[in-house]
Amino acid sequence: MVLLSSRWRCRLLCFLTILLLPVLGVVSSQAADGTTQFEQDVALLVHGNFRQKETAMDKIAAGNDPRAEQLLRALLGGKLYRVKKDGTPVYVTGTGSRVSITAVLSGKDLGTVKKRTLKKITINNRLRGKLRGELALLGLRSPDPGKRLAAVNKLMTSLNPESIKVLEQLIKTETNGKVRKELLTARAIVMLKDPDSNTRLQALTDLEGNLRPTVKNELARLLDREKDKKVRQKGEAVLASINAKIALYNTIEKIFFGLSLGSVLVLAAIGLAITFGVIGVINMAHGELIMLGAYTTYVIQQFMPASIGLALVLAIPAAFIVSGLAGILIERTVIRFLYGRPLETLLATFGISLILQQSVRTIFSPLNRSVSSPAWMSGSLQLNPVLSLTVNRLTILVFALLVFAALYMILKKSAIGLQVRAVAQNRSMARAMGIRAARVDALTFGLGSGIAGIAGVALSQLTNVGPNLGQSYIIDSFMVVVFGGVGNLWGTLVGGLTLGVANKFIEPWTGAVLAKILILVFIILFIQKRPQGLFPQKGRAGAAS
C-alpha cells in the first residue's frame, strides 16, 4: 500500500508538471518555484512518453544550458536513469548489479546503489536519429570556437539536404573566421547536390582550392554524375587545381622531412667537420661520442623523472661537457702521439670506439634505453588538411641551425676560434706567433667532441638510445663531411641538408635502404669528380690530400 502510494505520488507529480509546463515554459525560463526551464525539460524527458520526450529533447537542444550536451549524450548512450523512488534523474557509470550514480541537475555524486532501484530512460530509433542531429547542432552553437570547429568537422561526414537551412543560419551569426570557412565548405558540399546548375556552379566557386579530403571525394562523385557541361568543366578545373595544390604541399612535406633528416646529419657531422676538417684527425670514435651524449640525456632524465623538459634542456650542456671531456681525454692519451699518421689515427680511434661501445653495453645493458620527449615536443603542427609538421622534428631542425650558428660564431669571432683557424692554416707559423698549438689541438678536439654530445641529445629524441647508436651515424657523417668539403662548416651544412632532402626524394621510388645505397654510390662517384667536396678549403687536411 505504501509502495503503491509512493508510486502514485510520483506519477501525480509528473502529471502536474507536464500540465503546467507549457504555461511556465512560455512565460519565462525561471519558474516561480525556482526551477529553471532546463530542469523542467529534464523532468519531462525523464518522466514523459516518447512524444513528450521529443518535445523536451528539442527544447533542451535549443536552449543554451551548459549541461545539455552531457545530458543528451547520456541519453543517446543509454546512461540516463531515474531513481525509482523519487524520480531524480541520474547518470550511471559502471556495470553489474551495483552502479555509481551522479545527479543530472546538481552534478553531485550520489554514491553507489543497486541497479534495480533505477529506471532507464529509453528512447526509440526515431528519437535516436534525431538526437544525433541535435547533438551535432548543439556543438555548432557552443560558445567555444574550438568546439564549434569540431562540430562542423563532425557534421561534414553526415550532411544531408536539410542541413543547408541550419548552415545558412549559422553562417549569418558566426564571427570566428575559421569556423565560418568550414561552415561555408559544408554548405557548398550540400549545394553540390542541388538540382539547379547555377547553385552547383556557385558551390564549385566556393570550393576552389579547398584541401579537405571530403571535398575531393565529393567533387569526384559530382563529376561521375554531372550532366551539365558547364558545371562539368568547372568541376574538372577545380579538382585539378586542388590536386595540384595537394601535390605542392606533398612536395613541401617531403622537403621538410628531408631537411629534418638533413639536420640530424648536420648535427652528427658538424663535430666531425671540426676534428676532421680543422685539425685533420680522423675520429672513428665520433659516433660513440654522440652515443655518450644520448646516454647523458638518459641518465639526467633518470635523476629527474618529474620534469622531462628541464632534464632535456640541462642535458645539452651536460652532454657537451661529458663528450667534450671524453674527447680531450682521447686526444691527450692517444691521438696526440699519432699526428701526421692519419691511417694509424683511424685504427686507434676505431679501437676507442669499440671500447666505448662495450663500456656502455656493460654499464647500461645491451638493450635500447628509451628517452622520453617532453610534452612541448610531441604532437604536430597542422598547417592545413594535407600538410602537418611534427613538432619534434621541427625543434631539432631549428636546434641544428642554432648549433651551427653558435659554432660558426665561435670559430669566426672568438679568440680560441681565431687560434684554431690559425693552427689549421699554418701550424708552424701559428706556433711562431706564440699560439700553443698542442693546447689548441686538444681544445679543438674537445669542441668537436662536445658538439657530438649535443647531437646525441637531439638524436635521443628521434631514435632509441643504444650501444649501436653511434655506429649507424658514423659513415653517414663522414659522407656529409666528404661531400660538403673537408674543413668547411658551410659545406657540412649544405651537404647534410642536400643529402637529407635527396634521400627523402629518392625514397618513394626505391624504398629506404636502396635510397641510402644510391646516395652512397652517388657520393663515391661525386668524389671522383670533385675530390675536395662541394666547397674545397685550404688547410692542413686540404694540403695533405
509 touching another protein, by CB under 8 A: no
459 touching another protein, by CB under 8 A: no
Task: List strand residue ranges (DSSP E) for 31-190, in order.
Answer: 80-83, 89-93, 98-103, 109-114, 118-120
Residue type at position 238: V
Taking the least distance from each CB to another protein, the nearer of 237 and 517 is 517
By DSSP bridging, strand 80-83 and strand 118-120 are antiparallel
Residue tagged 671524453 (cell numbers): 326
Q: Which region, judged by CB under 8 A, interacts with another protein, from 57-65, 177-185, 249-257, 512-520?
A: 512-520
Size of the site for another protein (CB under 8 A): 43
User: Could you tell me the smallest distance in angstroms from the CB atom of residue 312 to another protein?
Assistant: 30
Question: What residues numbered 465-494 form the site for another protein, per CB under 8 A?
Answer: 471, 475, 478-479, 482
Q: What number of CA atoms fall less than 13 Å from residue 388's CA on the CB side?
A: 10
By DSSP bridging, strand 109-114 and strand 118-120 are unpaired
Q: What is the Cα–Cα distance from 388 to 116, expressed in whole angstroms?
A: 51
Taking each continuous run of H as one helix and of E as one strand, the counts in the chain are: 22, 7
Contacts of residue 206, defined as CB under 8 A and 6 or more positions apart, other chains included, come to: 184, 185, 187, 188, 191
Taking the least distance from each CB to another protein, the nearer of 204 and 519 is 519
529 touching another protein, by CB under 8 A: yes
Q: Which region, judged by CB under 8 A, interacts with another protein, from 46-54, 63-71, 399-407, 519-527?
A: 519-527
Residue type at position 372: S
Q: Contact with another protein (CB under 8 A): which of 8, 15, 50, 337?
A: 337
Taking each helix axis from N to C end, the angle separating 391-413 and 489-510, rounded to the nearest 10 degrees, works out to 160
Taking the least distance from each CB to another protein, the nearer of 263 and 357 is 357
SS3 content of the chain, % helix, strand, coil (to 5): 70, 5, 20
523 touching another protein, by CB under 8 A: yes
Order the strands of the 89-93 sheet from edge to edge: 109-114, 98-103, 89-93, 80-83, 118-120
User: Could you tell me the smallest distance in angstroms from the CB atom of residue 503 to another protein?
Assistant: 13
513 touching another protein, by CB under 8 A: yes
How far CA 326 is from CA of 264, 321, 477, in Å, comes to 22, 8, 19
Binding mask 356-395 for another protein (x = CB under 8 A): -xxx-xx---------------------------------
Taking the least distance from each CB to another protein, the nearer of 81 and 473 is 473
289 touching another protein, by CB under 8 A: no
Binding mask 338-357 for another protein (x = CB under 8 A): x---xxxxxxx-xxxxxx-x
User: Could you tell me the smallest distance in angstroms from the CB atom of residue 340 to another protein?
Assistant: 12
437 touching another protein, by CB under 8 A: no
User: Could you tell me the smallest distance in angstroms from the CB atom of residue 271 to another protein?
Assistant: 16
| Polymer length of the chain | 545
- To the nearest 10°, the Cα dihedral for 532, 534, 536, 541? -50
Q: Which region, judged by CB under 8 A, interacts with another protein, from 131-139, 142-150, 175-183, 527-535?
A: 527-535
Question: What residues numbered 83-142 form the site for another protein, per CB under 8 A?
Answer: none
Taking the least distance from each CB to another protein, the nearer of 35 and 468 is 468
What φ, ψ does residue 316 adopt, rounded to 5°? -65, -55
Name the residues that contact another protein, by CB under 8 A. 282, 334, 337-338, 342-348, 350-355, 357-359, 361-362, 471, 475, 478-479, 482, 511, 513-514, 516-517, 520-521, 523-525, 527-529, 531, 544-545
